[in-house]
């Protein structure tokens, strides 16, 4: 009798099957085993073996050991309906793995919100050949700890009919919403084992023994697929009919393995307006116009691998030439085109397309397969920022298919001054719209950090995203008011409301022209105090040029992540120096504050694998990452030292003075080697710890910069990436305002300037509050600078201080917003 030790694939708490909150596993319908309630986010191999099955939804993986034992690992309960969301495969079907190898990564937080349970059963599915003994349950286990032992019972393998032709068959369409996943597979296998004849289930060009639940799941049968049940003797007709009956009954089987219920649309405003997420601020009035992009139809079969390969290469070359031309023009469209150029030659995309071409597929089918396979992988990460890059892949898919000669469908010309409505919008579709055509954009889906959102902001087009499907029901040509400052879209307003909105639009345009004309002057309060207004930049020359045109007095935050993302290795010292100097040249001597690499958390870097973290937002982020990788820090510090006069170094995610001193030592050491003086060093205040220790930090650094987005997130203990909580995170919450006030007070004692470089600096309503709290510098998005400077010029410091004092005494951010909207008589006219 042979034995096989199964090691725990997860760290967590082990329990017997009967404690799993699912009848299939609790009653051992799939087989015996052990369950683990995980505390980590990576599933490991419990033994050596071959990956024989991966669920279409990526939530379950099965291995077969050399002795024939088949082990199924099912991550969480009711996870099939997530359709892969939150799961990232690390292996492929057919791959051989060793005990302890990582198989699957999953988003523990997302599953905790959307799944019925995180408990993960580890089950031996061919229990007719192996039994579980010595199960280690009701204890804490680590990855690799012994979980149980499998004893072979010496039984023969499941009987199959090698080379036999089916004598009787019956076709059945699977009506169950999620196809043949764990639960229906277990039911089918249990029935099949009671039937005295060899049977086979065939689907998607493959066959499986119905007595093996894993074999059934490996077919990847989805709802709506047709399967064939085959018997190999006339006497098997009754068994075939019985199994077909069971498949049909799956339709009425409760769909317990489902995603979280659909989230309701955002509530309408009191006036009936639809609400959305602000992607680009502004105000627009105009008729609605529906942009509908039809799905491009491609044939699957090709005309020979060589011919299709040549066609795809030629199409990619045509798209590359167009993208290169746009990239040379520069600006936001040029930056997006550069990103698409990288994707066009992505090794993973090309490899996937080549596999499809080699299988006889057409060039269009191969390219679509490659693009959507990568898109699914991004969506499955559960990372909102990465998921927004899916639009870029689908956009590139469309561009190449059009270059291949496929019909993209005719679109009606956009009326000038229209508000475009659509489910989503590709960056290239917006780039192709003539400047000045659109008054605004509202999308049912999408995210505020997508490339199309960035483009809209740079182009000055007001834009809302994530408005919901109700948006698509608005009739084209309907008059509408898009208020992308308030996050609302109002269709078919009363005539008097529409007329008032049109008057407001004229007033805004006139005010914008006045603000822009005055923006080149140094900024002062009406009461005389000097307030510097800088720009937040992502790092391109076009970005810096726009900031100067809008009246920026310098750069208050240059993000350096742009140099480190979307590449195979870190940038070397020379590349960094050149990038920093290009921006410095545009600023022509104006201050340039450069933030060191802020990686980790919501900004993962592929070549910088982080240790597994249950909560990345509380793990290796910001300066912690740089101190964890001193080689990257030293290279960046040398580049910053060489960037030239006017440069200042800003350290992200500081929590105490020890971190500052560690970096200062690196600055001094590298400066000594290069013979260059140390530039001013600043600390970002993004955590309550840093805010409460601001007196110590102000004594250690040359300036402080408050990142209000993260400070609000950590102060309010709400994840700003959480769909249900993001709207509640407001930097004007009294708790956040009190921390900002404490930072300013501490900095004043040491005569240190305090900047705000987070979202509040671009929020006109919040600016008087920040000034009243003691902020001496505002760093805003470039297009907001003229308005911010005009607003500052209309304030008196005494009025701002009185307003801030009132706000800090209020109980909620809603109360503060109401205060900010109320008329104020204490302002001093300029």
Instruction: Catalytic residue, from 451, 555, 647, 744: name it.
Output: 451
Three-state secondary structure readout of 603-659: ECCCCCCCCCCCCHHHCCCCHHHHHHCHHHHHHHHHHHHHCCCCEEEEECCCCCHHH
Residues in a beta bridge with 288: 419
The beta-strand segments (E) located in 70-110 are 70-74, 87-89, 96-97, 102-106
**CA pair distance 713, 728, nearest whole angstrom:** 10
| 70-74 β-sheet, strand order | 96-97, 49-54, 60-64, 70-74, 120-124, 32-38, 12-15, 139-141
Spell 496-513 as b/e; 16+ CB within 10 A means b: eebeebeeebeeeeeebe
Contact status, residue 813 vs residue 733, Cβ threshold 8 Å: yes
**CA pair distance 485, 279, nearest whole angstrom:** 10
Residues in a beta bridge with 681: 649
Q: Phi and psi of 132, rounded to 5°?
A: -90, 130
Contact status, residue 518 vs residue 501, Cβ threshold 8 Å: no
**CA pair distance 602, 594, nearest whole angstrom:** 20
**CA pair distance 179, 223, nearest whole angstrom:** 4
Q: List the structure tokens of 571.
A: 């940038």
Contact status, residue 607 vs residue 542, Cβ threshold 8 Å: no
Q: Is 569 a catalytic residue?
A: no
**CA pair distance 747, 261, nearest whole angstrom:** 48
**CA pair distance 247, 174, nearest whole angstrom:** 7
**CA pair distance 227, 778, nearest whole angstrom:** 64
**CA pair distance 361, 353, nearest whole angstrom:** 9
User: Residue 199 CB: number of other CB atoms within 10 A?
Assistant: 22
Look at phi and psi of residue 33 and say left if phi exceeds 0, alpha if psi is from -120 to 50, else beta.
left
Q: What angle do CA 316, 322, 328 make, to 5 degrees?
A: 130
Q: List the structure tokens of 286.
A: 């105009």
SS3 226: strand
**CA pair distance 153, 2, nearest whole angstrom:** 8
**CA pair distance 206, 214, nearest whole angstrom:** 14
- Measure the CA dihedral 412/417/423/428, to 10°: 70
Instruction: Catalytic residue, from 647, 757, 800, 808: name it.
Output: 757
SS3 219: coil
Q: List the structure tokens of 25.
A: 């596993």
Contact status, residue 484 vs residue 440, Cβ threshold 8 Å: yes
Give the H/E segment covering residue 432: none
Q: List the structure tokens of 468.
A: 């919901």
User: What's the residue count for the chain?
Assistant: 830
User: Residue 143 CB: number of other CB atoms within 10 A?
Assistant: 20
Give the H/E segment covering residue 369: helix 363-379
Q: List the structure tokens of 684.
A: 């970002």
Contact status, residue 138 vs residue 98, Cβ threshold 8 Å: no
Closest Cα partner for 455 from 384, 388, 400? 388
Q: Is 59 a catalytic residue?
A: no
Sign of CA dihedral 730, 732, 738, 740: positive
**CA pair distance 307, 483, nearest whole angstrom:** 52
**CA pair distance 419, 489, nearest whole angstrom:** 10
Residues classed as catalytic: 451, 757
């Amino acid at each position: 009798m042979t034995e096989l030790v199964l090691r725990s694939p997860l760290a967590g708490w082990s329990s017997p099957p009967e404690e799993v909150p699912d009848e299939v596993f609790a009653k051992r319908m799939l087989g015996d085993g052990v369950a683990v309630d995980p505390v980590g986010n990576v599933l490991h191999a419990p033994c050596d073996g071959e990956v024989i099955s991966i669920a279409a939804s990526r939530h379950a993986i099965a291995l077969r050991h050399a002795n024939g034992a088949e082990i199924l690992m099912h991550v969480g309960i009711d996870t099939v309906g997530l359709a892969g969301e939150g799961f990232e495969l690390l292996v492929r079907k057919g791959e051989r793995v060793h005990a302890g190898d990582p198989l699957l990564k999953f988003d523990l937080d997302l599953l905790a919100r959307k799944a019925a349970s995180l408990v993960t059963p580890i089950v031996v599915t061919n229990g007719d050949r192996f039994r579980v003994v010595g199960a280690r349950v009701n204890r804490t286990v680590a990855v690799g700890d012994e979980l149980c032992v499998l004893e072979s019972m010496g039984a023969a393998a499941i009987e199959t009919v090698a080379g036999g032709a089916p004598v009787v068959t019956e076709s059945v369409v699977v009506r169950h919403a999620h196809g043949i996943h764990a639960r229906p597979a277990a039911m089918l296998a249990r029935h099949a084992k009671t039937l005295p004849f060899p049977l086979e289930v065939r689907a998607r060009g493959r066959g499986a023994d119905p007595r093996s639940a894993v074999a059934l799941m490996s077919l990847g049968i989805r709802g709506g697929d047709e399967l064939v049940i085959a018997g190999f003797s006339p006497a098997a007709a009754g068994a075939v009919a019985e199994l077909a009956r069971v498949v049909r009954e799956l339709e009425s089987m409760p769909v317990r393995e489902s995603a979280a219920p659909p989230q309701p649309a955002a509530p309408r405003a009191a006036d009936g307006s639809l609400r959305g997420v602000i992607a680009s601020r502004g105000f627009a009035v105009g008729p609605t116009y529906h942009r509908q992009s039809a799905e491009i139809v491609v044939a699957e079969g090709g005309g020979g691998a060589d011919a299709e390969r040549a066609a795809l290469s030629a199409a990619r070359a045509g798209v590359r030439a167009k993208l290169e031309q746009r990239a040379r023009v520069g600006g936001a469209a040029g930056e997006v085109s550069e990103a698409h150029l990288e994707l066009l030659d992505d090794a993973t995309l090309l490899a996937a397309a080549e596999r499809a071409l080699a299988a006889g597929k057409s060039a269009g089918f191969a390219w679509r397969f490659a693009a959507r396979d990568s898109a699914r992988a991004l969506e499955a990460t559960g990372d909102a920022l990465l998921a927004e890059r899916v639009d870029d892949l689908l956009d590139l898919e469309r561009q190449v298919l059009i270059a291949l000669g496929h019909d993209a469908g005719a679109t009606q010309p956009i009326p000038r001054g229209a508000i475009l409505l659509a489910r989503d919008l590709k960056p290239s579709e917006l780039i192709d719209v003539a400047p000045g055509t659109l008054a605004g954009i509202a999308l049912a889906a999408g995210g505020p950090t997508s490339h199309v959102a960035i483009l809209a902001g740079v182009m000055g087009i007001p834009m809302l995203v994530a408005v919901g499907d109700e948006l698509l029901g608005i009739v084209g040509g309907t008059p509408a008011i898009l208020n992308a400052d308030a996050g609302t879209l109002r269709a078919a307003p009363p005539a008097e409301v529409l007329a008032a909105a049109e008057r407001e639009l004229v007033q805004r345009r006139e005010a914008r022209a006045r603000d822009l004309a005055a923006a080149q002057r140094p900024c002062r309060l009406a009461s005389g105090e000097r307030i510097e207004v800088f720009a937040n930049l992502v790092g391109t020359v076009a970005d810096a040029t726009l900031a100067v045109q809008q009246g920026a007095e310098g750069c208050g935050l240059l993000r350096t992540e742009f140099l480190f993302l979307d590449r195979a290795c870190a940038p070397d010292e020379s590349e960094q120096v050149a990038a920093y100097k290009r921006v410095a040249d545009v600023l022509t001597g104006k201050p340039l504050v450069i933030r060191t690499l802020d990686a980790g958390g919501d900004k993962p870097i592929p070549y910088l694998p982080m240790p597994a973290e249950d909560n990345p937002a509380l793990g290796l982020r910001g300066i912690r990452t740089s101190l964890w990788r001193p080689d990257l820090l030293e290279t960046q510090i040398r580049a910053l030292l060489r960037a030239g006069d006017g440069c200042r170094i800003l350290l992200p995610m500081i929590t105490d003075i020890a971190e500052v001193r560690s970096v200062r030592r690196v600055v001094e050491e590298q400066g000594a080697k290069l013979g260059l003086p140390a530039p001013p060093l600043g600390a970002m205040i993004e955590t309550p710890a840093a805010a409460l220790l601001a007196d110590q930090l102000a004594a250690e650094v040359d300036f402080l910069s408050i990142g209000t987005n993260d400070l609000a997130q950590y102060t309010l203990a709400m994840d700003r990436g959480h769909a249900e909580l993001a709207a509640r995170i407001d930097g004007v919450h009294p708790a956040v305002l009190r921390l900002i006030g404490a930072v300013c007070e501490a900095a004043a004692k040491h005569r240190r300037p305090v900047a705000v470089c987070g979202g509040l600096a671009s929020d006109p309503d919040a600016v008087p509050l920040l000034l009243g709290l003691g902020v001496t510098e505002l760093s805003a998005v470039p297009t907001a600078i003229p308005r911010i400077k005009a607003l500052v010029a209309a304030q008196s410091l005494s009025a701002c201080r009185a307003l801030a004092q009132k706000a800090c005494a209020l109980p909620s951010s809603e109360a503060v917003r109401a205060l900010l909207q109320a008329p104020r008589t204490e302002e001093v006219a300029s």
